[in-house]
């Protein structure tokens, strides 16, 4: 089968199209013919983790070292990137009950990666579900990452109806899903923060207001929020504290030392709080997301599609930081 392989860390040019052995499913797995795979920030991190600037890794230094060993300290252990996909079941293992050959599915392989390829294997009890029939493969492939992550984050803070929510990084995969879920499912009033290019796009998702971070500083607007979600994790509690309501929550998608200490300190104060969060999606989360999709409470948006062999070009486009929605590789 064809797959995008990388045998060393570095810039996008380390990604190459090669012929590799087609995987065989175990008794509890399905073999999926991949039709589309999303290009996510995690793919970028994995590709260049050896030379990744400290500011781009929103975790403790210890986590970075652990990630280096997990991915491969000097060279990649898992040579096929990609973890969110959509495709068709070609073969089901002997004990598989939920899926059969011909089923259209979408899913998330997590840290095992392997989706930048024509085929992949995934356990029946993994994060995989039937693809909503009204979505294309490209649209379905971007959902398991952004939407399940956003759902986990919003549940973490027990978001309530009529909360005022600010989403920083609202035009990306997680941010755009957070805007939609907060507004359309949880009933919150959402403000998005993004670049100039993403303003109309974020408005179309359900944000009542969109702030262009290149022109305006929301922290100086006088508005206050029940929840500030910092998708990029580059802000600070001290900088945003004045924009939180009395018991407001600042949630950076980050586990750096300073933010962890702030979380510990504010957890006992009874007032404004910091909650650091990492999303750990489960199969039932994807099942719920499918219901949202079928109920039209959530819609995936594709910014650009690239053929599999243009994976390096797709990575360069994502790293440029101007995408609105998701970037997809078609297989």
Q: What is the CATH number of the domain that holds 22?
A: 3.90.180.10
pLDDT exceeds 90 at position 77: no
7 vs 66, more confident: 7
Q: In the predicted model, what is the mean pLDDT of the chain?
A: 88
State how far the Cα of 24 lies from the Cα of 41, in Å rounded to an integer. Answer: 28
When pLDDT is averaged across residues 196-213 and rounded to a whole number, the result is: 94
125 and 185, same domain (yes or no): no
136 and 189, same domain (yes or no): no
For residue 22, the enclosing domain spans 2-142+300-330
Strands 164-168 and 189-194, by their bridges, are parallel
137 and 184, same domain (yes or no): no
Does 95 map to a domain?
yes
122: left (phi over 0), alpha (psi -120 to 50) or beta: beta
When pLDDT is averaged across residues 208-228 and rounded to a whole number, the result is: 93
pLDDT exceeds 60 at position 97: yes
When pLDDT is averaged across residues 308-316 and rounded to a whole number, the result is: 98
Does 293 map to a domain?
no
Identify which of 63-72, 166-175, 269-278 has the greatest average pLDDT.
166-175
Does 287 map to a domain?
no
pTM of the model: 0.86
Q: Which helix (H) or strand (E) holds 328?
A: strand 326-330
pLDDT of residue 62: 44
When pLDDT is averaged across residues 297-319 and rounded to a whole number, the result is: 94
pLDDT of residue 280: 77
pLDDT band at 75 (very low <50, low <70, confident <90, very high): confident
306 and 269, same domain (yes or no): no
Does 291 map to a domain?
no
86 vs 301, more confident: 86
Residues recorded for the chain: 331
pLDDT exceeds 80 at position 317: yes
71 and 185, same domain (yes or no): no
137 and 10, same domain (yes or no): yes
pLDDT exceeds 80 at position 330: yes
321 vs 328, more confident: 328
Q: Which of 13-27, 132-146, 258-272, 312-326 has the lowest mean pLDDT?
A: 258-272
Q: For the segment 249-285, what is each residue's pLDDT rounded down to a tens digit?
A: 999 886 555 555 665 566 556 688 888 776 678 899 9
pLDDT exceeds 70 at position 36: yes
Does 281 map to a domain?
no
Q: How many domains does the chain have?
A: 2
301 vs 258, more confident: 301
134 and 265, same domain (yes or no): no
Output the domain CATH number for residue 229: 3.40.50.720
Does 285 map to a domain?
no
Q: For the segment 10-21, what is each residue's pLDDT rounded down to a tens digit?
A: 999 999 999 999
pLDDT of residue 55: 56
Contact 130, 290 (CB under 8 A): yes
When pLDDT is averaged across residues 212-236 and rounded to a whole number, the result is: 89
* Alpha-helical runs (H) found in the chain: 41-47, 61-71, 137-141, 143-156, 173-180, 199-205, 237-240, 257-266, 283-294, 311-319
Contact 280, 256 (CB under 8 A): no
Does 129 map to a domain?
yes
Q: Which among 228, 258, 274 is the end of a domain?
A: 274
143 vs 236, more confident: 143
pLDDT exceeds 50 at position 143: yes
Q: Which among 259, 274, 289 is the end of a domain?
A: 274
Does 78 map to a domain?
yes
State how far the Cα of 20 lies from the Cα of 249, in Å rounded to an integer. Answer: 47
224 vs 267, more confident: 224
10 and 98, same domain (yes or no): yes
Contact 251, 277 (CB under 8 A): yes
């Amino acid at each position: 089968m064809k797959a995008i392989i990388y045998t060393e860390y570095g810039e996008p040019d380390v990604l190459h199209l090669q012929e590799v052995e087609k995987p065989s499913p175990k008794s509890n797995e399905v073999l999926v013919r991949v039709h589309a795979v999303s290009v996510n920030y995690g793919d970028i991190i994995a590709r260049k983790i050896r030379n990744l600037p400290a500011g781009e890794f929103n975790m403790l230094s210890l986590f970075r070292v652990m990630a280096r060993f997990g991915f491969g300290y000097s060279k990649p252990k898992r040579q096929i990137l990609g973890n969110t996909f959509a495709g068709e079941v070609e073969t089901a293992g002997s004990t598989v009950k939920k899926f059969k050959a011909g089923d259209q599915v979408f899913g998330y392989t997590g840290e095992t990666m392997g989706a930048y390829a024509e085929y992949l294997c995934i356990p029946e009890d993994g994060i995989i579900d039937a693809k909503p029939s009204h979505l294309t493969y490209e649209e379905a492939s971007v959902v398991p990452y952004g939407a399940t992550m956003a759902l986990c984050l919003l549940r973490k803070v027990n978001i309530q109806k009529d909360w005022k929510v600010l989403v920083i990084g609202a035009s990306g995969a997680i941010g755009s899903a957070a805007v939609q879920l907060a507004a359309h499912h949880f009933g919150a009033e959402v403000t998005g923060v993004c670049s100039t290019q993403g303003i109309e796009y974020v408005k179309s998702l359900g944000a009542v207001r969109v702030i262009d971070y290149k022109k305006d500083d929301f922290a100086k607007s006088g508005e206050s929020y029940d929840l500030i979600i910092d998708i990029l994790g580059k802000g600070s509690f001290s900088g945003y504290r004045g924009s939180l309501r009395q018991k407001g929550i600042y949630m950076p998608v980050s586990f750096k030392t300073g933010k962890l200490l702030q979380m510990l300190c504010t957890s006992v104060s009874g007032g404004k709080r910091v909650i650091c969060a990492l999303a750990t999606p489960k199969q039932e989360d994807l099942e719920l997301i499918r219901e949202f999709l079928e109920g039209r409470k959530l819609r995936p948006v594709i910014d650009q599609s690239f053929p599999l062999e243009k994976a390096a070009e797709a990575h360069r486009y994502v790293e440029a930081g101007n995408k609105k929605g998701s970037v997809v590789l078609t297989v």
